[in-house]
Chain A
């Protein structure tokens, strides 16, 4: 199965700061999807098909990448963005998730 490695595992950012987190796949994938999860709640689809924002996701978020390297970027950190973000692939079975990047506000 494809292993997704997210880095960093934990990070913090100040309001207004640019944030980038990465997801590295053990084999090439066609698309990467990202989820936001806050404590005690279900994951929410955040970015799908590598770069498409899910409904209601602020435009300060973006996704990019190809092959084995993907990233999620926040152009200007806001307090509400503090959460854990997971990447996910389904280019091959079984679909797999990364272990998550926990983003905290400074």
Chain B
């Protein structure tokens, strides 16, 4: 079965960068887009963007261009999202997800909490 396992919680200083991982199992990793979604209390869910691991093609929400960078390692079936120049506005839970035919997010990782604090 499809599973997405994310890395653990991170406590970061303002101005630092953080790299979150999402390990996929149960399907052909290279063939499906991996989506990244941000959730902050009071701000709902926001789509950050996506990566197709087999080609490395990416699409970013304009809002997150320059903030997020996606990479993928097909040898380990792991996708990564790096967030740079962290501020308190980046404190959130970040999810990786995968679509399943169509444009809904069928599978979700458990989420990674990023806390930015001096």
A interface, CB within 8 angstroms of B: 31, 33, 35, 42-45, 48-49, 54, 86, 88, 90-91, 93-100
Contacts and interface: CB of A to CB of B under 8 A. Distances in A.
Which has the most chain B C-beta neighbours within 10 Å: A45, A54, A91, A95?
A: A95
Which has the most chain A C-beta neighbours within 10 Å: B45, B61, B63, B111?
A: B45
Contact of B44 (A54, A90, A93, A97): A97
B105 interface: yes
Interface string B77-118: 000000000000000000100000011111011110000000
B46 interface: yes
Nearest to B93: A42
Interface string B38-75: 00000011110000000000010111000000000000
Interface of B: 44-47, 59, 61-63, 95, 102-106, 108-111
Contacts of B106: 45, 48, 54
Contact of B104 (A42, A48, A99, A100): A48
A36 B10 CA distance: 26
A49 B45 CA distance: 19
Given A95-B103, A99-B44, 7 more contacts: A31-B103, A48-B106, A49-B102, A88-B104, A90-B103, A97-B46, A98-B44
